[in-house]
Structure 1
Amino acid sequence: MKKLIVTSAFSFFAISAFSQVDKLLLEQKKKEKEKSDKAITDPKAGAKSSTWLDRGKLYDEIARLYTEMDSSAALVAYESFKKAVEVDAAKPGKVTKEAQKFLTGGTDDSGVNLGTSLVKQGAEKFQTKKYDEAIKFFNIAQEVNPKDTLAPLYGAYSAMQSQKNDIAATMMEQYIEKGGKDAGNFALLAQLYRIEKKNDKALAILDKGMEILPASKTSFKAERVNVLLDTQRLEEAKVGLNELIDLDPKNAQYALNLGILNDNEVQQITAEIRKLAETSKKTSGVDRKIKEAEETDKVFADEVKRISGLIAKQPKNADLKRQKAEVEAKQKENKVALEEAKAELVKTKEEIAKLGDPSAKIAELNAKLTKAREGAKSAYDRALKADPNNYDALFNMGVFYFNEAVEMKREVDAMDMKDYNAKGKDLEPKVCGKFKQSHPYFTKAKAIKEEEAVVETLKQLDVILKEFEGKKIVCEETK
């Protein structure tokens, strides 16, 4: 499970240092704390709701102003107010009402504010990397003040730091449900969903973010594309990237990513077409193997028959018997090869049957290939329009033309002499042209950044172009 590193959002909390607190007041509070701690152990005092109410107020003050005395004072305050309500449960009175007020986020003139105390000490736990304890404080703070967005937000950050992404997601959901409107936190929740493979939820929260925070629409759309790529919803991702380009045409990265997406599709479709073509040719090769094995079997059968005739005339001839045994052994091996070839033919025909009509599928894939190629080239053009010196766009455009040339050359190389004379000779200048088209892009990319990939590609390209020059082939560049 991935860990999210989140910058602390607690820097605004002013955590009092010991030296900043008046020593006389501190000593007084220590005495009050000792008195309260002793009072709850006394059967008579501990049975009074007022004892617990006063204790809650005291510990709330400690949490807010004297936190070094007790880093968990807010929890003690919370439990004390609950105890005050519990003691008078049979006959609720003024104390009960006041304690319930504090338990539901109410305050008084003395400054009691349990929700603030819990969040403050939760933040302190976070800063000391006690994330599980911090989560506990923030959960109770939500209970005390259900409308507050701070507690669930910081609880989510704490959970993320301890890699409890499910808890983090739940708390971030609560933050948003309560009206939280920070765009970064919407994106964080989407990221949490992605980590947990809940991609539909990630898309939904990003869509909600666009509705609530239209000013951050571009950022949300960019993250949406990432989710679509995660789930291999490539056509939707392309639509999203096109929308981003329209929103921010000067951002070369969006166009570059769209080009790469189309380029990857080109490679995938090309591989599929090649596989289909190879599969459709398999039967002829297997048929040839079967025919050869059958002819060889006939030769062996005739040889066995001939030697058997000789043995009939010379029954004691050991050499003839040895020859016959050798031929029969070879014939047996050949029969095994024949059966294997027949089984291979059956399997190959089954594979082809599953593919349906290879020709129709290849035609369909070729149409998709053309569209993907056009999409890749158009996107790289847009990237270079936004940033003419973008290394990646220059390199990828060079690779685009180079790969097109390689595919065309593969077609020429696969031709027999008859096909080559008929159309291969006319195709070679175009192959050369495609290689040549890639050259200026690689050259400019190298001028920007001399990475090994572009340096080595240029060396290879120069060798190829010299080979064409040596063959007296004039490069013919096409669109």
Structure 2
Amino acid sequence: MKKLIVTSALSFFAITAFGQVDKLLLEQKKKDKEKSDKAITDPKAMAKSSTWLDRGKLYDEIARLYTEMDSSAALVAYDSFKKAVEVDAAKPGKVTKEAQKYLTGGTDDAGTNLGTSLVKQGAEKFQIGNYDGAIKFFNVAQEVNPKDTLAPLYGAYSAMKSNKNDVAATMMESYIDKGGKDAGNFAILAQLYRMEKQNDKALAVLDKGMKVLPESKNAFKAERVNVLLDTQRLEEAKVALKELIELEPKNAQYALNLGIINGNEATQHAAEIRKLTESSKKLAPIEKKIKEAEETEKVFNDEVKRISGLIVKQPKNADLKRQKAELETKLKENKAAWEEAKTELAQAKEEAAKLGDVSAKIAELNQKLTLARTAEKEAYNKALAADPNNYDALFNMGVFYFNEAVEMKKEIDSMDMKDYNTKGKALQGKVCGKFKQSEPYFIKAKAAKEEEQVVEILKQLEIVMKDFETNKVVCEEVK
């Protein structure tokens, strides 16, 4: 599973060091802490709600100002305020009201602020790599201050750091639901859902982002394309890319991606055409094999009859008996091959029946192939118009023409001598021209970035062009 790279947004929380605190105050707080810790072990003191309220305030202050005294002071404060409410549950009073105020995000003039304390110490846990501990603080902080966006946001970061993507997604959803409006965090949530294969949720987040943050609409649209590609919703992806190209015509990547999608579709259509063509050609060789087996059987049977007649006249001729035995063996072998061919023919016919009208399907696929190739070429041209030195666009355009030349050459190679002499020779110049058409793109791609793939294909192209030169083929200019 991929890890998201998270830049900590928690650095604004300063961890107070003892050296920065007045020593007299520090010593006093230590004494106050010892007194409070002792009080909750005394049956009379621990039965008073005021003991727990004072303890909650003290530990909240420790969490905010003297954190190194107790790195979990905010949780102690939280539990103490809850205990204050619990002690007076039968007869709530002033103390209960004050404790409940702190438990629901309230503050006082002394600076008591449980929500801030929890987030601060959660941040400290994050900074030292204790992500599970940080999550615990941020979860409680959300309970104390349900409207705050900091706790769920930083809780999501902590969960991502510990590879708990489901927890991170839940917290980031909470951040957005509470009004969080950072485009990067919308994108992170979409990524989380993509990583968990929840692509519909990812799309919903991006759609929401476009409404909430219209200024980031293009970025969300681009990420939306990635989700559509993940789910193989290619037609929607193409429409979305075309919209992006219209919005940002100078962004070569959008046009490049559109070209790649169309190129992949063209490759798929070509493969399907080859498969259908091969399937349609299966019957003829099998039927020929069966016909040959029939003719062979007739020849062998006639020969057996002839030799049998000779044996009647020459019953002691061992050589004639040997010939007859060999022929009968060959008859059995031919019979077995014949039966095997019949079974093969039946299977081929069954497969052909499933395919239906192969000619119509091939015609339809050829039409789709032409459209895909046209769209691919158009997209690469747009990418190069936006960025003439874009390596990927240059390389892919070169491959486009190179592959066209390869397909044309295959057509020539499959011709028999008669067809080659009548039309094959004339096509050689066009094939040469098509290979030559790819060359400038590869040369320019190599100049932009000397990758191994472009170096190798230029070597192949050099061999091909030398072969044409040796055979005195004149390259024709092609479109």
Does the alignment reach a TM-score above 0.5? yes
Counterparts in 2 of 1:77-476, with a 5 A limit?
77-306=77-306, 324-476=324-476
Q: Write the letter of the residue equivalent to 1:239.
A: V
Check whether the contact 1:2–1:163 (CA below 8 A) recurs between aligned residues.
Answer: no
Offset of residue 466 of structure 1: 2.9
Letter in structure 2 aligned against 1:345 = L
Q: Offset of 1:326 from its aligned partner?
A: 4.4
- Provide the secondary structure at the position in 2 that maps to 1:107: coil
Report deviation, 1:364.
0.9
Q: Alpha-carbon deviations, 1:267-302, whole Å to 9, x = none?
A: 111111111111111111111122223333334444
Distance 1:310 1:31, change over 3 A: farther
Deviating more after overlay: 465-474 vs 392-401: 465-474
Matching residue of 2:29: 29
Is the 1:199–1:231 Cα contact (8 Å) retained in structure 2? yes
User: In the aligned structure 2, how far is the partner of 1:55 from the partner of 1:321?
Assistant: 117
Counterpart code for 1:337: A
User: Cα offset for 1:335?
Assistant: 2.7
Q: Given the two structures, how large is their TM-score scaled by the length of structure 2? A: 0.95
Find the aligned partners of 2:439 and 2:373 in 1 and give their Cα distance. Answer: 19
In the alignment, residue 206 of structure 1 is paired with which amino acid?
L
Unaligned runs of 5+ in 2: none
The verdict on how the C-alpha distance between 1:83 and 1:329 changes in structure 2, with shifts beyond 3 A counting, is: farther
Assess, with a 3 A threshold, how the Cα gap between structure 1 residues 435 and 40 changes in structure 2: closer, same or farther: same
For structure 1, list consecutive stretches of 5 or more residues without a partner in the other structure: none
Which whole-Å deviations, capped at 9, do the CAs of 1:180-215 have from their partners, x for residues lacking one?
000000000000110111111111111111111111
Contact 1:259 1:376 survives alignment (8 Å): yes
Q: Secondary structure at the match of 2:71?
A: coil
Task: Mark the CA change 1:416 to 1:37 in structure 2 (over 3 Å): closer, same or farther.
Answer: same
Aligned length: 479
Aligned partners of 2:332, 2:227: CA distance in 1, in Å? 60
SS in 1 for 2:281: helix
CA contact (8 A) 1:270 1:369 kept: yes
Deviations 1:357-405 (A, max 9, x none): 1111111111111111111111111111111112221111111111011
Alpha-carbon distance change, 325 to 129 in structure 1, aligned in 2, over 3 angstroms: farther
Deviations 1:30-62 (A, max 9, x none): 111111111111111111111111111111111
Identity %: 81
Q: Residues 310 and 131 of structure 1: is their aligned pair in 2 closer, same or farther, counting only changes over 3 Å?
A: farther
Kindly state the Cα deviation for residue 458 of structure 1 after the two structures are TM-superposed: 1.9
Counterpart Cα distance in 2 of 1:313 and 1:425: 63
Distance 1:318 1:89 in 2: 119
CA RMSD after TM alignment: 1.9
CA distance in 1, matches of 2:34, 2:21: 19
Equivalents in 1 of 2:346, 2:131: separation in Å? 63
- Structure 2 CA distance for partners of 1:58 and 1:322, relative to 1, 3 Å: farther
Partner of 1:41: 41
Cα gap change, 1:138 to 1:314, in 2 (>3 Å): farther
SS in 1 for 2:282: helix
Cα-to-partner distance string for 1:163-196 (whole Å, 9 max, x where unaligned): 1111111111000000000000000000011011
Whole-angstrom distance in 2 between the partners of 1:478 and 1:396: 18
Change (3 A) 1:32 1:299: farther
TM-score of the two chains, using structure 1 as the length reference:
0.95
Mapped partners of 1:163, 1:332: distance in 2: 69
Structure 1's 324 and 156: CA in aligned 2 closer, same or farther, altered over 3 A? farther
Instruction: Tell me how far apart the structure 1 counterparts of residues 253 and 274 of structure 2 sit (CA, whole Å).
Output: 31
Q: Per the alignment, do residues 55 and 465 of structure 1 end up closer, same or farther by CA in structure 2, a change over 3 Å counting?
A: same
SS at match of 1:13: coil
1:423–1:110: structure 2 CA closer, same or farther, 3 Å change rule?
A: same
For 1:289 and 1:265, the matched residues in 2 are separated by 37
Counterpart of 2:332, as a letter, is: K
Q: Given that residues 412 and 427 in structure 1 are in contact (C-alpha distance below 8 angstroms), is that contact kept between their aligned partners in structure 2?
A: yes
Partner-residue secondary structure (3-state), 2:153? helix
Is the CA contact 1:155–1:168 (under 8 Å) kept in the aligned structure 2? yes
In structure 2, distance between residues paired with 1:453 and 1:106: 64
The verdict on how the C-alpha distance between 1:436 and 1:35 changes in structure 2, with shifts beyond 3 A counting, is same
Q: CA deviation at 1:303?
A: 4.6
The structure-2 alpha-carbon separation of the partners of 1:3 and 1:446, relative to structure 1 and needing over 3 Å to count, comes to closer
C-alpha change, 1:112 and 1:319, in structure 2 (3 Å) is farther
Distance change >3 Å, CA 271–CA 39, structure 1 → 2:
same
Instruction: Identify if the C-alpha distance between structure 1 residues 308 and 214 changes in structure 2 by more than 3 Å, giving closer, same or farther.
Output: same
CA positional deviation for 1:128: 1.5
- Deviation, 1:459, is 2.4
